[in-house]
Chain A
């Protein structure tokens, strides 16, 4: 057996590409982004120093405020919707029902579709003059009206709705795997003890699946912070700026509006927000654990 030092050399060597990626593509880019946010850069970076000017402007910007609000609305509805729908689907599929395989496939297939496709399709279905509304009119229900996509105060809910369509199946798959992992004897014990199924789900199963829920939450959370394609394809941020999201704010200012400094300031704010939320969790999860701990 090689001495420990040598073994580590091999492992460290194997990690070199990852180190490079971490240093350059992650840490380096983040540092650069933050640096540029303190400059007056337009299309190109200038390395001057204007202090917090871009941040002042950012938080003064109505669009940014709307974007952040939208992200919050979208995030809450999307995550809660996916978790609730996904959980219900998983529980119902777990009732020894007929055609489970087909249904499971049906519920999960949207997850294989991109957000671009999702956005295009729902935009088409929910469009008041083309989709459901028009179909209802064609079937004779002429008073039917569903114009949320054209309404600035409602459109963001539809974006979240399309997101739920795409991702609820993922939650279902995760939770179903969790449900299948539950000891069959537990259900028998509950039946013998006369405990109703809903009570078992509420008091026993949901706590048991907390790990699964956290996983789902993490995956959905990542999707929320990154949401961009869906909005671009479905509403383009409209009507007006009512469905703008921070990621789109960054891209727009980065490339179309030629204000890299403001864009990077927005990106930095997003980074800090994510870091504050996720950092401590990751730290406790992965860094605090001592390397000697049993694997």
Chain B
């Protein structure tokens, strides 16, 4: 070959930064900037004073950082005559979140379990209808649901919004658990049956304890999904239970003279905080879950 005696190939191949490798890192870097940019803009804007925002570039760092906008967004920003900030929405969001998440995951797990291990008659009709429902724009359901819920006096109540979230969370939850349980060895279930377990015993003693990973996934999906909801919160929650997203929209669209972009950005970050924390704490599960649950379609 072309190697001279002086440089007999020996040991590790000399590492050269190939053009491809450089391009790869360049692409990833540009992508990272693209993905990070909005958050960066939100953060720096929320730390600037209004004059600086009006005269400077949105990308510039704050010349004198202030946390005043955060305080305003949290506890002083106004929607109409209410100037309590978006902290009210935080509590409301949690009030909606907790029961909605529990109910939808619970029902989804039971559904998945029944559909995959027990396969009751017409079970697939439930599944297919639910899945079809997942594709249908919410707008198809909203009006009749408003009427139905008001018929049973649940419209604009906490249970009302919880029911709505449960209804619309059910398709994905059912699919998630069904796929997970389908992949579980049926022998385990058969062993449970041979040992005399009934429907619920097997579920609570056998299946549920083995559902840890998928429960985490379901939790992540539902917490972020329900927290980020805007439409249902606006229509079904009622004034006393308006979630944070709706509060955010109110704050952002409420203007006293000039638009307080710094306060708006602070409020936006505050609203996005819960799902972001969930995501950063459980990012690994997040990815794994998408692979586990949704993949088999």
Q: A-side interface residues toward B, CB under 8 Å?
A: 1-2, 7-8, 10-12, 14-15, 17-19, 21-22, 24-30, 32-33, 36, 45, 85, 88-89, 92-93, 95, 97, 103-118, 120-122, 124-125, 130-132, 134-135, 138-139, 165, 169-170, 173-174, 176-178, 181, 211-212, 214-215, 218-219, 221-222, 225-226, 228-229, 232-233, 246-247, 250-251, 254, 260, 263-264, 266-268, 270-271, 274-275, 278-279, 282-283, 285-287, 289, 291, 294-295
Contact = CB atoms under 8 A, between A and B. Distances in A.
B247 to A, nearest CB: 11
Among A21, A135, A212, A251, the one with the most B-chain Cβ atoms within 10 Å of its Cβ is: A21
Contacts of B120: 8, 11-12, 15
A174 B137 contact: no
Interface in B248-282: 248-249, 252, 261, 264-265, 268, 271-272, 275-276, 278-280
A33 B140 contact: yes
B111 A222 contact: no
B137 A278 contact: no
B92 interface: no
Nearest to B164: A25
Contact of A125 (B58, B279, B288): B58
A247 B276 contact: no
B135 A18 contact: no
Contact of A112 (B174, B268, B279): B279
B132 A270 contact: no
Nearest to B261: A124
A135 B40 CA distance: 14
Given A7-B199, A8-B120, A18-B170, A103 B287 contact: no
B117 to A, nearest CB: 8
B24 interface: yes
Given A112-B275, A124-B58, A251 B139 contact: yes
Interface of B: 24-25, 27-28, 31-32, 34-39, 41-42, 45, 56-60, 107, 110-111, 113-121, 123-145, 147-148, 166-167, 170, 174, 182, 186, 193-194, 196, 198-200, 224, 227-231, 245, 248-249, 252, 261, 264-265, 268, 271-272, 275-276, 278-280, 283, 286-288, 290-291, 294-297
B71 to A, nearest CB: 20
A267 to B, nearest CB: 4
Contacts of A14: 110-111, 113-114, 199
Interface centre among A108, A110, A113, A169 (most CB of B within 10 A): A113
Contact of B287 (A177, A211, A212): A177
A104 B36 CA distance: 12
A218 B129 CA distance: 16
Contact of B28 (A93, A232, A267): A93
A15 B111 contact: yes
A134 B58 contact: yes
Contacts of B136: 30, 225, 270-271, 274-275
Contacts of B60: 135, 138
Nearest to A268: B140
Most chain B CB neighbours (cut-off 10 Å) among A30, A165, A268: A30
Report whether over half of chain A's contact residues are helix, strand or loop; otherwise say mixed.
helix
Contacts of A215: 294-297
B199 to A, nearest CB: 4
Contact of B231 (A93, A97, A124, A228): A228
B198 A10 contact: yes
Given A8-B118, A113-B276, A116-B245, A97 B24 contact: yes
A1 B190 CA distance: 11
A89 B34 CA distance: 12
A25 to B, nearest CB: 5
Contact of B35 (A107, A174, A254): A107
Given A15-B110, A132-B58, 7 more contacts: A12-B121, A14-B111, A15-B123, A21-B167, A26-B141, A116-B245, A291-B123
